[in-house]
A and B are shown apart, each in its own frame.
Chain A
Amino acid sequence: MSTDALALPGTELASRPLVSKLHDWVATVDHKKLGILYIIYALVFLLIAGVEAMIIRIQLIRPHNDFISPQVFNRMFTMHGTTMIFFVVMPVLFGFANYLIPLMIGARDMAFPRLNAFSFWMTAFGGLLLYFSLVGANGLYGAGNAPDVGWFAYAPLTSQTFSIGHSTDFWILALLVSGFGSIGTAINIVATILCMRCPGMTLAKMPLFAWLNLIMAGLVILAVSPLTAAQIMLLIDRYLGGHFFDTQAGGSAVIWMHFFWIFGHPEVYVLVLPAFAFVSEVIPVFSRKPIFGYSVMVAATVAIGFISMSVWAHHMFTVGMGANVNTFFVISTMAIAVPTGIKIFNWLATMWGGKIEFKTPMLFCTAFLFQFLAAGLTGVMLSVAPFTWQLGNSYFVVAHFHYVIVGGILFALFGAFYYWFPKMSGKMYSETLGKLHFWVFIVGFHLTFDFMHIPGLLGMPRRIYTYEPGRGWDTWNFIVTIGVFFQAVGILVFLGNLIWSYLRGKAAGSDPWDAWTLEWSTNSPPPAYNFASRPVVKSRRPLWDLKHPADPDWNYE
């Protein structure tokens, strides 16, 4: 490829000792290296939290199973939920944002490279703190235990009275520290997108990926901060004798719920917006059409961002909030279905009339569309407060959110991995293994999470370490557990594919997908300086313009 000529002379890395290479990674402030660090870190935690999920499922495979004790079970779901949300999905999304945003907007790096490194290490440190509870939670006795308060840690279960030892403190500190990291990264993303765009790239000409991440970062800033505040209050309660959530002294358990979900609900859109971003890049390229209704997509995202700040109490329909409050949160929650639906329809319209090529990334994104549709609709069922008086805290909720998170976010994420792997590694992944991963994982996913809705409808609450026979839950739980093993195999295939392709894959070239955004205009992997010279763009699809000089996009936008 002629692009090789772009590399500045003398930047070729001679083979250096391992220590020095490692030092490069640890001390790096390069957005691409940090992106990859985030991603690898998240993958490690995906395995850990996935194994925790497997333990949960094995325990629940039949009634009155005694694979693990109730104490261990409670720690497992707490660790599983906390790890998955804060140390798998958040970091992996930040990783992609870090890696791709500067490339997509034609910048040399993020706005604040050192803040970027700092944020990553804060996040990393947070994860380690959480798992340090396994040895440190009982002081220096060496015998630790993980937190067991659930991922939303309702008061007063977190007070000194009910949570003895330090496991809850590690939970608090882990989220506090990684929260600082997240806020740092979010500030960086906003500053990068607003201030580092290459000439010609007005806001209306940014790739949707940048738009969605911009809104995501805004939500992080506004949503993670309340969590930080609430965690500080909890620490004050636990260590300084405060009474914020101390029901004995007149404190309120309900206010913790509000504080948590003021964070918790926007958080789920923080997780899903980047998934939307992946899909918004992959679908057009593999359908060979520009995204349908760009400006409406942007508007819908902004609307989602705003509405999502006002729906938090739909997690509290069973708390006894009174009819009027419930009614308000019903309508605000339902309202979010409209902009989300608009997005689905626009993706659909992008595929309509295209020439769709089902390479692995597109397979994953197509499955995303189907599954997110179903998951969103179960969300709408849950937004019907009276229905949630039945469904709340049941396995139906668990099924709903895994359907969004695994069937939506994880699928989009796998699509993103395959789509950008050639750019990040310079190698092509194995299409065969990719397809195998897709099929095995999708079977596992549907076995697990389709059938998980049913015990919920039959009255099975979540967070129970065992259940009574004769409630009609046994068969469903059995199927659900079997599905997890398929998922595990799928994930092993995925990791195998990544490793094998990295070592043995064919060279990918700079633009394997014949794509349109700026990251495909530079080498794979991109050199440290990203672009040999600063790009200048005139439309949303600069590479389309380049490839079709006779019919450039800027004539139409």
Chain B
Amino acid sequence: MGANSRTEGSNLRLRGSISGCAVGLPIFVCFGGAALAFADPTQPSSPTNIFAPASSPAKSIFGLSLFVLAVTGAIFLVVFALLLYSVVSFRKKRNDDGREPPQVYGSNQVELAWTVIPVLIVVALFMATARVIALVQKTSPPGNAIAVTAIGHQFWWEYRYPDLGVVTANELHLPVSDPAYPTPTFITLLSADTDHSFWVPRLGGKTDLIPNHPNTMWIDPQATGVYFGQCAQYCGTQHAKMLLRVYVQTKDEFNQWILQQRQPAFANDAVSQGQRTFETTACINCHTVSGTVANGRFGPDLTHLMSRDTIAAGAAPNTPQNLRLWIRNPDAIKPGSLMPAMQLSDQQLDALTAYLETLR
């Protein structure tokens, strides 16, 4: 740099390298380790790993993120090495002569170099980014796309299939999309109260659900299975237990499911005691069971409750015990949920649970 820069690499002192490494190693291990651990997308180490994409948007993001990681990783290594070198080799020597080192005030050429190179890197990063933004955000639905409306509620998800006449909650069912003949799903995102965010990492990036601000996103899951995620925008007390489950099925299974969901609720000729309790309690103000007097919209649609694996947005498995516990005291499963405890007697609870279990 200056006129007077001598090389003093001879006197590498152990402590210098230790202190440098103590700062640098963990950073390096973290990023290097992370990259290695996630390198294999077929065998995800976590069901919500963003590096195990299974749908086009997630895949384009994945590709871009590898590029970004490589570029930033390279910058990190270079600058890190330079820093480490200067920390180690420009330490004050033990046998220092006590004179001040040559005073260097600056150099325009060097400044120019480390302005221009980052500018070029930034331009490259930007171009790659702009491409993926356009790819994901500027896609419009093809004719065979599935349309779903997802409505965020404190603290559960409502799903409507406007073209298929199905309303359900918390567990989204979609047909698998063959990459050769994609059948993507376009989701309209609405909110009934506060902000939420739809995030199933393996299927795509997140998009927020904001009241008065309809959003859309699309995914085309390319392998069957259950995909997990959860609400990613703080929405109140139970933001943590607003879990997402997406069931990706073969076309047949999906059609089956749609047919079944279109059925009205199971009806018993002799109206059971449980149903009477349900229909004479506040339940019907908040819940819909199609074909009955229950048509509330504040809580999840219960018409086909038993076709779901979990209750309360994934907070608990859908078992008779959990159902009963939930109705007796929702706070026991999900403190702060907006369903009140109904103060029912043990006998009423049993009957209600039995009734709910008929809602297949």
Residues of A within 8 A of B (CB): 69-71, 74, 148, 150, 154, 156-157, 162, 247, 250-254, 287-290, 292-296, 318-320, 322-323, 326-327, 330-331, 334-335, 337-338, 341-342, 344-346, 348-349, 351-358, 363, 366-367, 369-371, 373-374, 377-378, 380-381, 384-394, 439, 442-443, 446-447, 450-451, 453-454, 457-468, 470-473, 548, 553, 556-557
B298 to chain A, nearest CB (A): 14
Residues of chain B lying within 8 A (CB to CB) of residue A371: 23, 27
7 more contacts with CB within 8 A, not counting A70-B336, A292-B104, A385-B133, are A154-B233, A156-B195, A338-B115, A349-B104, A439-B22, A463-B234, A556-B105
| Interchain CB contact under 8 A, B86 and A352 | yes
Residues of chain B lying within 8 A (CB to CB) of residue A293: 105-107, 110-111
B2 to chain A, nearest CB (A): 6
The 8 Å CB contact of A353, one of B49, B75, B101, B231, is B101
Complex Cα distance A386/B67, Å?
A: 12
For B46-89 the 0/1 string (1 means CB < 8 A from A) is 11111100000010110011001100100110011011001100
B201 to chain A, nearest CB (A): 4
| Interchain CB contact under 8 A, B26 and A450 | yes
A126 to chain B, nearest CB (A): 23
Residues of chain A lying within 8 A (CB to CB) of residue B236: 74, 157, 162
B86 to chain A, nearest CB (A): 5
The 8 Å CB contact of B213, one of A253, A348, A387, A391, is A253
The 8 Å CB contact of B48, one of A150, A381, A458, A556, is A458
Task: Please judge, given known A-B contacts A252-B213, A384-B125, A459-B50, whether A370 and B30 are in contact too, CB under 8 Å.
Answer: no
Complex Cα distance A106/B107, Å?
A: 29
| Interchain CB contact under 8 A, A355 and B101 | yes
* A-B residue pairs, 7 tightest by C-beta: A389-B205, A459-B48, A472-B46, A464-B240, A320-B215, A446-B26, A293-B106
| Interchain CB contact under 8 A, B133 and A330 | yes
Complex Cα distance A323/B139, Å?
A: 11
Closest to B201 in A: A459
| Interchain CB contact under 8 A, B96 and A355 | yes
| Interchain CB contact under 8 A, A471 and B46 | yes
B83 to chain A, nearest CB (A): 6
| Interchain CB contact under 8 A, B232 and A461 | yes
Give the secondary structure class of A's interface. Answer: helix
Closest to A473 in B: B46
A476 to chain B, nearest CB (A): 10
B126: interface (CB < 8 Å) = yes
A340 to chain B, nearest CB (A): 9
| Interchain CB contact under 8 A, B110 and A349 | yes
Closest to A154 in B: B195
Task: Please judge, given known A-B contacts A254-B213, A472-B45, whether A381 and B69 are in contact too, CB under 8 Å.
Answer: yes
For B270-292 the 0/1 string (1 means CB < 8 A from A) is 00000000000000000000000
Task: Please judge, given known A-B contacts A373-B79, A386-B64, whether A319 and B210 are in contact too, CB under 8 Å.
Answer: yes
Complex Cα distance A390/B129, Å?
A: 14
| Interchain CB contact under 8 A, B206 and A318 | yes
A332 to chain B, nearest CB (A): 10
Closest to A438 in B: B19
